Amino acid sequence: MKLAYWMYAGPAHIGTLRVASSFKNVHAIMHAPLGDDYFNVMRSMLERERDFTPVTASIVDRHVLARGSQEKVVDNITRKDKEERPDLIVLTPTCTSSILQEDLQNFVDRASITSNSDVILADVNHYRVNELQAADRTLEQVVRYYLEKARKQGTLDQSITKEPSANIIGIFTLGFHNQHDCRELKRLLQDLNIKVNKIIPEGGSVKDIQNLPKAWFNLVPYREVGLMTAIYLEKNFGMPYISTTPMGIVDTAECIRQIQKNVNSLISNKNKIFNYESYIDQQTRFISQAAWFSRSIDCQNLTGKKAVVFGDATHAASMTKILAREMGIRVSCTGTYCKHDAEWFKEQVQGFCDEILITDDHTEVGDMIARIEPSAIFGTQMERHIGKRLDIPCGVISSPVHIQNFPLGYRPFLGYEGTNQIADLVYNSFTLGMEDHLLEIFGGHDTKEVITKSLSTDTDLTWNYESQLELNKIPGFVRGKIKRNTEKFARQNNVTNITVEIMYAAKEALSA
Amino acid sequence: MSNKISETLTFECETGNYHTFCPISCVAWLYQKIEDSFFLVVGTKTCGYFLQNALGVMIFAEPRYAMAELEEGDISAQLNDYEELKRLCLQIKKDRNPSVIIWIGTCTTEIIKMDLEGMAPKLENEINIPIVVARANGLDYAFTQGEDTVLAAMAHRCPEQTMLIEKKKIIQDSNIQEFFSFLSLEKKEETTNKQFLKLKKNAPLVLFGSLPSTVASQLSSELKRQSIQVSGWLPAQRYTDLPSLGDQVYVCGVNPFLSRTATTLMRRRKCKLIGAPFPIGPDGTRAWIEKICSVFGIQTEGLEKREEKIWENLKDYLDLVRGKSVFFMGDNLLEISLARFLIRCGMIVYEIGIPYLDKRYQAAELLFLQNTCKKMCIPMPRIVEKPDNYNQIQRMRELQPDLAITGMAHANPLEARGINTKWSVEFTFAQIHGFTNARDILELVTRPLRRNNNLENLGWNSLTKKEKSKF
């Protein structure tokens, strides 16, 4: 048992549901007790999704405990098949159902006989993998299922497209700025004269999965999700993949150079060889403002300032490199909660930071930040709150996130526009910190206490002890208003002694 | 599916495929209510992730609750439950020193049959902090019923009332004085004696249900106007202030989801239950007070006028809701009372979805609902227990209600299809009890209507693509 207040990565089934509900026309059925379907709430709230989240539960209740699910799961699958006509139904086990040890595979086999949809059982172990690992696995499982199906049916066409093309793998729902990143990657590939073959899972159809091998290569922008799929495709179809995250100027260039290498190795007509160097140069120096920004006086002021970075492996590693390599900021500590990927992370940030912290315990991160006292933090929502408590500004660079990290405006983290966004984020975090510091030195914006703002300076009214207590129970931000309204009411009714009753009466009368 | 609205109160039961919060969410409001408590949820990452996401920012305020996160070793019994819980509870004692630790049992502890009730008394003796066990799991309960399981467990910890009666004679004076100072009468000196004589008559009355302290004192003072003294609340502001119970004590619920607590109070603590409608809305509040008064043989004073006054104050909102239709998808058990209030406001209720309906505990409320329908000449709504959200959405498509009261999972998709929605969970967190807060309920109900009045002329009410929308 572990005493836990907060966690960075969610339980496994969340990862499976995120992948399943990112595909078009795929329905997930959770084998779960009542109340475990809060994934729908998250998606509906955070992504502000207009459509009903294609996730339902086959409820585990007392009867299921006593007698087993029996027909229930199969019935629910066939019912969903009739109602929604999905291409694929993913039966998703939860922590509860994995202890019950029912033979879910058997249900899946039975249901797939009667239903028109394909039915699979998500292959995740709740007590061994977290949300991100499960998402990675589920994506691979779905891709493999459809490629093997196509191979069996003989519909698999392995020839590659005439023009260079790429698959983007790992964009999915509730991912940190995934939608914006996807648009930026599409634009980048378009600039490089590379067609986008398929994007999975977001918005993809499972029927199109058999066309994945048509692309020349796979682009896996995030370390956490998509790598297993890319490796599977490389092994079975000889498709090369690029897993360098195009985040920051240096890594974006590196990613483009790898694309160049891969494309050129497959090109048949050697006269049409691609060379992206001039594009990289043009973008770096003039389209992206980040390179110039690093040279500007503004950025000079950031030299040697201490920062702490924490987040998922992809974003934390990229951010560390950007801060240290591209902006000259001293990264005192960098870390990730992706414990399963610790080796890769350490290798990436080697030489770019003073120390490395691998943990999924937010109190450890908090203690580290308190000890280092950096000028700015780049982390998740948790670090933002730690920063608030310690009065250190924080830029959010990674999930877990809140609704404000699903902005409506265009905010990619990847590609050349991403470098601009990151530069703003970094600069704004630090200047806020600086301004704050100056304010403290000079004693704040306004050192005079405002005393005549409210109506309640007259002395003809007295609040008795109980009503004062009652007033103090009211949340601060409305207390002033309540006080004013009550006093107004008291004056109107010629009452001088304000009691709790008067307060309530005032609320009723004035509808405060 | 028939969409005809019947003339009598009909009860149906569907498949139970509906969205609601897990009952462990009661931790969120109970830890704030009971100031000296610590809630330990014994469960998995799934439970933790739910609390973290459902309660949003509250998690960052160093809450007095935590997960005892079960790991693989706990599930396969390689680790000793007792030792593990002891270790965690000692740490909690060291860090927070609460007056009580409440263990919340979850689905997982049910399935692996962890004997929390058996371990608690042993551990309690060993570490010297009371440990209360509540099984608020998703296998058996929905959302607000979590509070019911906690309060039912707490009812066992309330002191026995007989002791108090013996001591009463000695401490009566000072006790009642104190009580008055807490309630702060308007003209304290003059009325004390008069009130005192009256109050002596009424037998101890304990109200159960967790309410914000302001609302609790509003209801107490409402009863005091009728010369009824409330001798305690379950739960009190502090665990150490739990009210005393016994066979002389009358109890009355303030929330419709407290049937287990009511049963426990009657059967185990021998209290006398006052079955009344719930004090939600001015009509409900008046009926609630009248019922309590009738039990104590007291003639109510000025209650009618008071209710009228409140209704007058609501006039602007009533104009907005009159004739509009509502559909309750059902997820928090407040539905019957809210529907009854909205019908009295002049709305038409098509369907009342509700997770669980205890017809005995809610008897007075159901009767009141029926009478209200007759009085307002509005057809009786159908009551659907354990609703099926998919079917409900089909019904809604045909009925096109003016307002759907629903969970967050459906709210945005429904709005995108041009149906006004109100998020049902807000009713559990807002102050909705008593005369004073009637306006707050309508504030919530009318918010989508008012918002959409502002946006109406823009012409983009339905915001889904045709081919995708299955609605």
Q: What is the ipTM of this complex?
A: 0.86
- Which residues of B are less than 8 Å from A42 in CB distance? 53
**Cβ proximity of A360 and A376 under 8 Å:** no
Identify whether B433 is part of a domain: yes
Taking an 8 Å cut-off on Cβ atoms, the answer to whether B79 and A57 are in contact is no
Tell me the pLDDT of chain B (471 aa) as tens digits.
444 445 678 899 999 899 999 999 999 899 989 999 999 999 999 999 998 887 665 566 667 889 999 988 888 888 899 999 999 999 999 988 999 999 999 999 999 999 999 999 999 999 999 999 999 999 999 999 999 999 999 999 999 976 555 444 444 444 444 444 444 444 444 444 444 444 456 789 999 999 999 999 999 999 999 999 999 999 999 999 999 999 999 999 999 999 999 999 999 999 999 999 999 999 999 999 999 999 999 999 999 999 999 999 999 999 999 999 999 999 999 999 999 999 999 999 999 999 999 999 999 999 999 999 999 998 899 999 999 999 999 999 999 999 999 988 999 999 999 899 999 999 998 999 999 999 999 999 999 988 888 787 787 777 777 544 445
- Mutation to test the A interface, candidates B39, B305, B412, B444, most A Cβ within 10 Å: B412
Structural domain boundaries, residue A19:
12-129
Measure A130 CA to nearest chain B CA, in Å: 9
Instruction: CATH number of the domain at B117, please.
Output: 3.40.50.1980
Test A499 with B184 for CB contact under 8 angstroms.
yes
A364 and A262 belong to one structural domain: no
Does A433 belong to an annotated binding site? Answer: yes
CA nearest to B439 within chain A: A511
- Per-residue model confidence (pLDDT) at position A46: 86
Among residues B124, B141, B158, the one where a domain terminates is B141
Compute the radius of gyration of chain A from its Cα atoms.
28
Whether residue A105 is found in the same domain as residue A204:
no
Nearest to A3 among B17, B68, B181 (CB): B68
Strands in B10-13's sheet, in edge-to-edge order, are: B10-13, B382-385, B348-354, B325-328, B403-406, B421-423
Answer yes or no: do A303 and A432 share one domain: yes
**Residue A482 sits in a domain of what CATH number?**
1.10.8.550
Residue B437 lies in a domain: yes
**DSSP E strands: which ranges in B26-171?**
37-43, 65-69, 100-105, 131-135
Residue at a domain's end among B115, B141, B167: B141
Residues in chain B within 8 Å Cβ distance of A470: 214, 217
Tell me the two tokens of residue A67: 């007698």
Q: Which residues contact A35 (CB under 8 A, 6 or more apart)?
A: B20, B21, B22, B23, B50, B138, B142, B143
Return the pLDDT at A433: 64
Helices (H), A350-494: 362-372, 381-390, 415-441, 465-473, 476-492
The reply to whether residue A95 touches residue B413, judged by beta carbons under 8 angstroms, is no
The C-alpha angle with vertex B70 and arms to B67 and B73, in degrees rounded to 5, equals 155
CA distance B18 to chain A (A): 8
Residue that is last in its domain, among B98, B122, B141: B141
Which of A298, A367, A391, A436 is flagged as catalytic? A298
Q: What is the tens place of the pLDDT at every residue in A287-336?
A: 899 999 888 887 887 888 899 999 999 999 999 999 999 999 999 999 99
Our count of domains for chain B comes to 2
Same domain, A67 and A174: no
Query: Is A253 in the same domain as A299?
Result: no
Structure tokens at B148: 């019911």
pLDDT at A491: 85
In a domain, A452, yes or no: no
Total Cβ atoms within 10 A of residue A145: 16
Cα gap A363→A368, rounded to integer Å: 8
The three-point CA angle B383-B387-B393 to 5° equals 100
What SS3 string covers A376-418? EEEECHHHHHHHHHHCCCEEECCCCCCHHHCCCCCCCCCHHHH
Dihedral angle computed from the Cα positions of residues B177, B179, B181 and B185, in that order, rounded to the nearest 10 degrees: -100
Domain interval for residue B59: 23-141
Q: What is the mean pLDDT of residues A389-414?
A: 91
- Torsion of the alpha carbons at B394, B398, B404 and B407, rounded to the nearest 10: 10
**Residue A190 and residue A302 share a domain:** no
| Mutation target vs B (from A50, A56, A482; most B CBs, 10 A cutoff) | A50
| Residue A195 resides in a domain | yes
Could you tell me which residue, A445 or A231, shows the higher pLDDT?
A231
Asked if residue A274 belongs to a domain, the reply is: yes
- Domain annotation covers residue B148: no
Rounded alpha-carbon distances, angstroms, from residue A160 to A170, A197, A216, A261, A269: 21, 10, 6, 17, 15
Which residues does A28 contact at the CB level (< 8 Å), separation at least 6?
A16, A17, A20, A21, A54, A55, A56, A89, A90, A91, A92, A122
Q: Spell out which residues of chain B touch residue A474, defining contact as CB-CB under 8 Å.
A: 214
Residue A157 within a domain: no
Specify the residue for token string 């209290």.
B271
Decide if B69 is inside a domain: yes
Q: B142, A33: Cβ pair inside 8 Å?
A: no
Q: Residue A72: closest CA among chain B residues belongs to which residue?
A: B15
pLDDT at A459: 59
In this predicted structure, what is the pLDDT of residue A456? Answer: 46
Task: Report yes or no on B333 lying in a domain.
Answer: yes
CB contact under 8 A, A33 and B107: yes
Distance CA A120, CA A142 (A): 8
Q: Which residues pair with A58 in a beta bridge?
A: A31
Please tell me whether residues A45 and A110 are part of one structural domain: yes
| Per-residue model confidence as pLDDT tens digits over A408-419 | 999 999 999 999
Res B4: pLDDT = 46
Count of structural domains within chain A: 4
- Higher per-residue pLDDT: A456 or A506: A506
Per DSSP bridges, beta strands B65-69 and A2-4 are antiparallel
Strand partners, A330: A306
What six digits make up the tokens of B65? Answer: 């609750």
Strands A55-59, B100-105: pairing is unpaired
In a domain, residue A447? The reply is: no
Q: What is the DSSP string of B319-355?
A: HHHTT-EEEE--SSS-HHHHHHHHHHTT-EEEEEEES
Amino acid sitting at position B149: T
In B314-460, where does DSSP find H-type helix?
315-321, 335-344, 363-376, 389-399, 408-416, 425-429, 438-455
pLDDT, one tens digit per residue, over A339-379 is 999 999 999 999 999 999 999 998 899 999 999 999 999 99
Quote the minimal CA–CA distance from A37 to chain B in Å: 7
Do B193 and B176 form a contact (C-beta atoms < 8 A)? no
pTM, rounded to two decimals: 0.87
- Bridge-based pairing state of the strands B100-105 and B131-135: parallel
CATH of the domain at A57: 3.40.50.1980
CA gap B410, A413 in Å, rounded: 31
Q: Does the distance separating the beta carbons of A35 and B66 come in below 8 Å?
A: no
Same domain, A362 and A234: no
Burial class (CB in 10 A: 0-12, 13-18, 19+), B41: buried
* Domain presence at residue A245: yes
> A197-206, A209-218, A460-469: which range is least confident on average?
A460-469
- Which CA distances in Å does A430 have to A381, A436, B89? 17, 10, 41
Q: Is A298 a catalytic residue?
A: yes
In the block, which residue shows the tokens 């003339």?
Answer: B7
Tokens of A297: 């006086």
B158 annotated among ligand-binding-site residues: no
**Does B211 map to a domain?**
no
Q: Cβ–Cβ of A1/B84 closer than 8 Å?
A: yes
Q: Residues of A with CB below 8 A from B137's CB?
A: 33
State CA A9 to chain mean position distance. Answer: 10
Chain A residues with CB under 8 Å of B409 CB are 37-38, 40-41, 44, 53
Q: Is residue A145 part of a domain?
A: no
Rounded to a whole number of angstroms, the CA Rg of chain B reads: 23
Cα–Cα distance list, A461 to A191, A493, A512 (Å): 73, 12, 19
Residue B378: closest CA among B367, B389, B369: B369
CA-based nearest distance A92→chain B, Å: 13
Whether B45 and A95 lie within 8 Å, measured CB to CB: yes
Is there a contact between A14 and B49 if contact means CB atoms under 8 Å apart?
yes
Residues 6+ apart with CB under 8 A from A151: none
Measure CB to CB from residue A35 to each of B21, B88, B218 and give the nearest one: B21
Same domain, A386 and A469: no
Q: Does A453 touch chain B (CB under 8 A)?
A: no
Which whole number is the average pLDDT over A473-491?
78
Chain A residue numbers with beta carbons less than 8 Å from the beta carbon of B463 are 50
The answer to whether the CB atoms of A38 and B22 lie below 8 A apart is: yes
**How many inter-chain contacts (A to B, CB under 8 Å) are there?**
196
The reply to whether B271 sits in an annotated binding site is: no
- Residue from the list B49, B409, B412 with its beta carbon closest to the beta carbon of A7: B49
Contacts of residue B425 in chain A, CB cutoff 8 Å? none
Cα–Cα distances (Å) from B205 to B244, B245, B274, B275, B293, in that order, read 10, 9, 10, 13, 11
The token pair at A495 is 């009452």
